[in-house]
A = this chain, B = another copy of it.
Amino acid sequence: MKDSENSKVTPWEVSGRVDYDKIMTKFGTEPIDQNIMNSLSRLTGGDIHFMLRRGIFFTHRDLGWLLDQIKKGENFYLYTGRGPSDHTHIGHLVPWVFTKWLQDKFHAKLIFQLTDDEKFLFNENLDTEKTHSLALDNALDIVALGFDPKLTEIMIDTDRSGLLYPQAIKIAKKITFSTIKATFGFDQSANIGMIFYTSIQSVPAMIESVRAGKNIPCLIPYGIDQDPHFRIARDVLPRLGFLKPASIMSIFIPPLSGVEGKMSSSDPNSAIFVTDSASVVKRKINKYAFSGGRTSVEEHRKLGGNPDIDVSYQWLRIMFEPDDAKLKKIRDDYISGSLLSGEMKALLIERVNAFLKRHQELRERAKDTLHEFLAEH
């Protein structure tokens, strides 16, 4: 969908400056308001993840209802996913980090779907071997984040078709081509795998209920671009006797090139990959990270910078500076001009490289435990 004249948000393309208020109105989602925050806080012992406090996760569906269920002692599970079209980059980690926090706080089971079939079907240049090997590669990053192996089931679609397809046809039977056309904008030149695909993405939203033989509420954290899939899931699942999944959605992490659009693997200089070396990270941020600073140091000292369009600041806000007080000081110093663009970048480089050093070690170790996550739970 187009949410304003120059931006676009679909599961396969995000471009332009996204107006998140307009998106909420158009998609029909609710803002995360004080009531939700209070409910959540009561359940987590006062802890609210910084991504919630800062509006990185900014909107939801039925989250109030879900929290009420949890309060009543009801079990629930988490479901999120990733389309493995390339190596994992920093932008992908944002919802995963938040999902891990939810798992930790609620001791909730997580289904993590890796949609290698989707990426194969939607990309002319990818074959199934490539998308499958990328799924295994991306899975290492999931494991490295520290999800609980007992509570986390990573499903690679083509490895788990025996589970997914027989359920997907139940969903597919309730969805017409007209609905797909209207929801995703496909025309008659779309391949029939693309057309069918959304039913595969809906299965994890009900699979734990199928397995349990009774309804278990599901909460799906995702980037708001995935919303069309879950609008369909929420329409169809009740017609099959399942609950509508609740959801909590994030903004996009901006590419290095500026605060418009979404970090994408297709432009390697716009993204930092989890496998990038420290020197590559340094070079990319120094060279490509769009700055909200002034053209000269003198001017910057005098007039100050604009953190709202400064990608380095935004990355600190979204992911790399969890401490609100520290973040505020960075912001204030940037606006006042006492913190220079180069210093802001240096701050980010340090944080990203510290994170990646540890992540890359954990990623290596993940090779030993990956099988636990891939097994049927």
A128-B166, A192-B199 provided; 9 other pairs, C-beta below 8 A?
A: A164-B165, A173-B193, A175-B191, A176-B189, A176-B191, A178-B188, A178-B189, A192-B195, A193-B199
Complex A-B: 24 CB contacts under 8 Å:
A117-B166, A117-B169, A120-B169, A121-B173, A158-B166, A158-B169, A160-B162, A161-B162, A161-B164, A161-B165, A165-B165, A172-B192, A172-B196, A174-B191, A175-B192, A176-B189, A176-B192, A177-B187, A177-B188, A177-B191, A178-B189, A192-B198, A192-B199, A193-B196
Give complex CA distance A170, B181 in Å: 22
- A166 surroundings in chain B (CB, below 8 A): 117, 128, 158, 161
Each complex incorporates copies of this chain amounting to: 2
CB pair A192 B177 closer than 8 Å: yes
CB pair A190 B176 closer than 8 Å: yes
A interface, over-half SS: helix
Q: A161-B161, A161-B162 are in contact. Are A195 and B169 (CB under 8 A)?
A: no
- Does A70 sit within 8 A of B, measured CB to CB? no
- Does A180 sit within 8 A of B, measured CB to CB? yes
- Residue of A121, A165, A189 with most chain B CB atoms under a 10 A cut-off: A165
List which A140-189 residues lie within 8 A (CB) of chain B: 158, 160-166, 168-170, 172-178, 180-181, 186-189
- A188 surroundings in chain B (CB, below 8 A): 176-178, 181
The 4 closest A-B pairs by CB, nearest first: A162-B162, A172-B193, A196-B196, A161-B165
CB pair A169 B181 closer than 8 Å: no
- A165 surroundings in chain B (CB, below 8 A): 117, 158, 161, 164-165
CB pair B177 A121 closer than 8 Å: no
- A181 surroundings in chain B (CB, below 8 A): 188
- A128 surroundings in chain B (CB, below 8 A): 166, 169-170
Kindly provide the distance from the CB of A126 to the nearest chain B CB, expressed in whole angstroms: 10
Beta-carbon nearest neighbor of A232 in chain B: B192
Kindly provide the distance from the CB of A268 to the nearest chain B CB, expressed in whole angstroms: 26
Beta-carbon nearest neighbor of A126 in chain B: B173
Kindly provide the distance from the CB of A178 to the nearest chain B CB, expressed in whole angstroms: 4
Give complex CA distance A158, B191 in Å: 22
Beta-carbon nearest neighbor of A162 in chain B: B162
Kindly provide the distance from the CB of A114 to the nearest chain B CB, expressed in whole angstroms: 13
CB pair B189 A172 closer than 8 Å: no
Kindly provide the distance from the CB of A130 to the nearest chain B CB, expressed in whole angstroms: 13
CB pair A172 B191 closer than 8 Å: yes
CB pair A192 B180 closer than 8 Å: yes
Kindly provide the distance from the CB of A235 to the nearest chain B CB, expressed in whole angstroms: 13
- Residue of A117, A128, A178, A191 with most chain B CB atoms under a 10 A cut-off: A191
Give complex CA distance A77, B189 in Å: 34
- A162 surroundings in chain B (CB, below 8 A): 160-163
- Residue of A121, A162, A196, A198 with most chain B CB atoms under a 10 A cut-off: A196
